[in-house]
Chain A
Amino acid sequence: DGGITQSPKYLFRKEGQNVTLSCEQNLNHDAMYWYRQDPGQGLRLIYYSQIVNDFQKGDIAEGYSVSREKKESFPLTVTSAQKNPTAFYLCASLPRTENTGELFFGEGSRLTVL
């Protein structure tokens, strides 16, 4: 079945370490997104990519980096520069030509900094 796979589901990291969250989709979607969610908060956009080898900063890109070398993959690296990285991270995708713009979400990755 087609879908979006995020890994790992749970991740613990020590302060000062970089960590990379994986996001893979087999929906043949052009656009991919990374959101961050904190307790009691809505989703905030970190980075997005509309096409391979191109990506744009969202509202809270500082301390994060991404790459889009393949259509199927959009990994997110949480760097040591991110001051408060503990959060729930959601990856999503969208067919470029889809009219309704419904985002398809992965199951999420919960990152905890010890």
Chain B
Amino acid sequence: GQNIDQPTEMTATEGAIVQINCTYQTSGFNGLFWYQQHAGEAPTFLSYNVLDGLEEKGRFSSFLSRSKGYSYLLLKELQMKDSASYLCAVRGRTGGGNKLTFGTGTQLKVEL
């Protein structure tokens, strides 16, 4: 099976940097994903890591350590529109239907 843990809530200030952590235990690993979800809307894809290291995409970066079962999403220059839920998801072993298992999400609130 798979187990994914991430903080329930975080609060940060506009213009600041925030790091959202995700730890996982899986029976097989074939990639880790971060999605952003605004209330009542569908998740939107942010990033994908399958190898160890940092992937940077504009204001967002994602890091993966497979040996530690750990990832983080880094958001820089926070904007009010970044207030949303951030979902960490893990893809299991190859051939398993490309299924993603999602964490419960981290609700980020950006304040002035």
Contacts and interface: CB of A to CB of B under 8 A. Distances in A.
Given A31-B97, A48-B97, A105-B43, A42 B104 contact: yes
Mostly helix, strand, loop or mixed at chain A's interface?
strand
Contact of A42 (B33, B44, B45, B102): B102
Interface in B1-18: 4, 8
Nearest to A6: B42
Most buried by A among B8, B44, B104: B104
A58 to B, nearest CB: 7
Q: How large is the interface on B (under 10, 10 to 19, 20 to 34, 35 or more residues)?
A: 20 to 34
A45 interface: yes
B100 A108 contact: no
A103 B45 contact: yes
A40 interface: yes
Contact of B97 (A41, A50, A88, A107): A50
B70 interface: no
A50 B41 CA distance: 25
Contacts of A58: 99
Mostly helix, strand, loop or mixed at chain B's interface?
loop
Given A100-B31, A102-B33, A45 B99 contact: yes
B60 interface: no
B105 A42 contact: yes
Given A50-B97, A94-B98, A100-B48, A42 B103 contact: yes
Interface in A70-96: 88, 90, 94
A41 B104 contact: yes
A44 to B, nearest CB: 8
B48 A42 contact: no
B97 A56 contact: yes
Contacts of A94: 98
A43 B41 contact: no
Given A40-B104, A103-B43, 10 more contacts: A31-B97, A42-B87, A48-B97, A58-B99, A94-B98, A101-B100, A102-B33, A102-B48, A103-B100, A110-B40
